[in-house]
Structure 1
Amino acid sequence: MKRNGRLIAGLVIVLLVMLCTACAADKTESNKTGTASGNSDKTNAGVSDKQRVIASLKGDITIPTEPQRVIGLSVVYPELLYALGVTPVAVQNYHQDFPSYLKEPFKDTLKMGIAQTPDFEAILASEPDLIIAPTWWADKDYTQLSKIAPTVLLPQRDNWRDELRDIADVLGKKDQAETVIQDLQLKETEAKKKLHTLVGDETVMYMMIMAKELVIYGENIDRGSFIHKQLGLKPVKDFPQSELSLSISLEVIPKYNPDHIILQLDDEASEEVQNRYKDMLNSSLWKNMTAVKKNQVYMMGGKEWFSLGMSPLADSYAIDDVVHAFENKQK
């Protein structure tokens, strides 16, 4: 009887040990699974409140859930960030001054200038918690940038709308990106109707004066597409459709002879550009053009048009510019 009692007690002890071991193993495995997959509620509660993992061209990257100090490299990324409600802490800038539509919101933003290699010291001093850049611009600098802050490289795009959506995906602002796109599209549609009532089927030539040449933009390049497709202003009929833009001499301008000219100086501060502009204004070839005789030449552009066709902010500003210019000529 005693022997049977000992045997039963021994079996109970063995069973208890096995049960405890199984529970411990199950708990350990559960923890391992949660850590590996990132799907555990406990793990997410500890990590996802402040960080999340996103896929990028360099693999999965952990970034802040709500980044507070963002840098967007390339000249246009800061504009796309601001369109999504994010003011960058530092930017690469082409002009000394920001365009008027960014002057106030970027008043505390550090200007780093434009260079093939970014100013790493300035970026580090800005203490970013997230860096976003197009791969064609920053792939060569990725290793150094990622040592400063989590760096997300995004694919090259031909349309700013796709760039905006890419950035919005990183920031968790997809709905806001679509709102920006739709609002601008509505503004373009309304401007197109208004311009048609003002201009009708009269031709418009978009021309830029550069230091070494005069350039006419066609409807298949960003800037020209904005003027001729998005705003519906009729291009000159002899512009070759196979060309994005044409570099021409002063002697060739009369060949196109549009009803209206949108004129832009590439760099208003450039002495060469200003001299070429003055020479053109004093030319009899220029003075005898239809648009000049009818006083239908509209000086626009400058740094406000630098990102035209590449940013919703620049496009929105230019829409107002064009509509106001044509309206004023009708008064």
Structure 2
Amino acid sequence: MKSKLWVISGVILMLLLLSACGQGAGTETSGSGEGTKTSSGAAANTKNTGQQQEGEDRIIQTEMGEITIPKSPQRVVGLSVVYPELLYALGIVPVAVQNYHDDFPKYLQEPFKNTMKMGIGKTPNFEAILEANPDLIIAPAWWSKKDYDQLSQIAPTVLLPEREEWPEELEDIAAVFGKETEAKQVLEDLKQHEKEGADKLHSLIGDETVLYVRVMEKEIVLNGPNLSRGAFVHKRLGLKPVSNFPKDETGLSISMEVLPEYDADHLIIQLDDEENSEIQKKYKDMMSTSIWKNLKAVKKNHVYLVGGKEWFNLGMAPLADNYVIDDIVAAFEEKNK
């Protein structure tokens, strides 16, 4: 382990020396561009310094103060499991990202075929980041502030503020890359897609009730309208929840015996990881019970199996949301013609 740390330290030192030499022999730069700011406030503001040259670097204001970044970064590392989606939604393919599952979701597999997976952890994988040779790193401040000094020695690092909703995160990232127009279009396109999906679903089942059930390794969770996932299904796509779902609850962890109390006309069943053998077994065991077989939706063949990594970022990123809309509509069309 010590030898690896010496290697990493040596590479960082070399990068710093090369950077210093490059700055000493660099071209004089002159400023261009006006300040940009996201509607949510404190992301990255382009600053006219009067010392930059068109097409070279620019200075932005971040949570860690002013930093210089490339005007058009070519090798971006994203240190968050949702940043890969937000970057790609803006037309940026990162060279390395964090990932929760072994594989990227279907909608990222082709564009990310050459993107390095770094897994997740309490601290960034500095060795992998060095190997990726980034010219810009973006990371959430709440997770990466403690590692900022080490990250910024590898490449300019922009720490982004914690946000309540992903559209604000998208706008923060867009401000760093000067892609505010693209971010606005992403949001408008998704809103239109949601409307089309909601209209189609209403034409298929009208006001019949829907229960969204997430089967996990340790528990069964009912997602209600107040949770981000449940809100997407029930509020944004307009699928009617069961009337007795507790109004002040976001989700309910239940035993199988309780499921008949929320006997909906339709069941959306999400397997938390479709490749997990324990989850597969749990679902098969559920289906073998008399409780399951007597559910209204089961009797009418109105059970829709969805799942896994494609739904992992539902309610947290635009590509996942778009995928889920198509997934739900296709599942309901198949059984409600």
TM (normalized to structure 2)? 0.84
What is the Cα-based RMSD across aligned positions, in Å?
A: 1.5
Paired position in structure 1 for 2:71: 65
Q: Letter of the aligned partner of 1:113 in structure 2? A: G
**2-side partners of 1:123 and 1:221: how far apart?**
34
SS for the counterpart of 1:71 is strand
| CA drift at 1:270 | 2.3
Is 2:287 aligned against 1:245?
Answer: no
Q: Letter of the aligned partner of 1:141 in structure 2? A: D
Q: Alpha-carbon deviations, 1:14-44, whole Å to 9, x = none?
A: xxxxxxxxxxxxxxxxx9xx9xx9543xx33
SS for the counterpart of 1:113 is coil
Q: Alpha-carbon deviations, 1:269-308, whole Å to 9, x = none?
A: 3232122111100010010000000000000021111111
**2-side partners of 1:323 and 1:38: how far apart?**
48
Q: Letter of the aligned partner of 2:127 in structure 1? A: E
SS for the counterpart of 2:326 is helix
Within the candidate set 182, 191, 196, 1:185 is matched to: 191
Paired position in structure 2 for 1:279: 285
Is 2:123 aligned against 1:107?
Answer: no
SS for the counterpart of 1:164 is helix
**1-side partners of 2:87 and 2:188: how far apart?**
17
Give aligned pairs, total: 293
- 1:279–1:137 distance in 2 versus 1, CA, 3 Å: same
| CA drift at 1:178 | 0.2
| CA drift at 1:238 | 1.1
Paired position in structure 2 for 1:214: 220
**2-side partners of 1:87 and 1:275: how far apart?**
37
Would the aligned equivalents of 2:49 and 2:59 in 1 still touch at CA under 8 Å? no
**2-side partners of 1:258 and 1:97: how far apart?**
33
Is 2:181 aligned against 1:166?
Answer: no
**2-side partners of 1:39 and 1:76: how far apart?**
32
Q: Alpha-carbon deviations, 1:212-235, whole Å to 9, x = none?
A: 110000111111111001100011
SS for the counterpart of 2:52 is helix
Q: Letter of the aligned partner of 2:236 in structure 1? A: Q
Greater than 4 Å deviation, 4+ residue runs? none
Q: Alpha-carbon deviations, 1:82-131, whole Å to 9, x = none?
A: 00000000011111111110000000001111212121000011010001
Would the aligned equivalents of 2:59 and 2:69 in 1 still touch at CA under 8 Å? yes
SS for the counterpart of 1:298 is strand
SS for the counterpart of 2:142 is helix
SS for the counterpart of 1:44 is coil
State the identity as a percent: 61
Paired position in structure 2 for 1:265: 271
Is 2:142 aligned against 1:149?
Answer: no
Paired position in structure 2 for 1:230: 236
**2-side partners of 1:127 and 1:177: how far apart?**
26
Higher-Rg member (1/2): 1
Q: Letter of the aligned partner of 2:223 in structure 1? A: Y
**1-side partners of 2:306 and 2:104: how far apart?**
16
Q: Alpha-carbon deviations, 1:157-209, whole Å to 9, x = none?
A: 11111100000000000000000000010010111111111111111011011
SS for the counterpart of 2:77 is strand
**1-side partners of 2:182 and 2:322: how far apart?**
16
Is 2:334 aligned against 1:314?
Answer: no
Q: Letter of the aligned partner of 1:143 in structure 2? A: D
Paired position in structure 2 for 1:7: none
Q: Letter of the aligned partner of 1:189 in structure 2? A: K
- 1:323–1:114 distance in 2 versus 1, CA, 3 Å: same
**Structure showing the higher helix proportion among its residues:** 1
**2-side partners of 1:164 and 1:65: how far apart?**
19
Paired position in structure 2 for 1:44: 52
Structure 2: tracts of 5 or more residues without a match:
1-27, 32-46
Q: Alpha-carbon deviations, 1:54-79, whole Å to 9, x = none?
A: 11111111111000000111100011
Q: Letter of the aligned partner of 2:273 in structure 1? A: D
Within the candidate set 121, 124, 128, 1:118 is matched to: 124
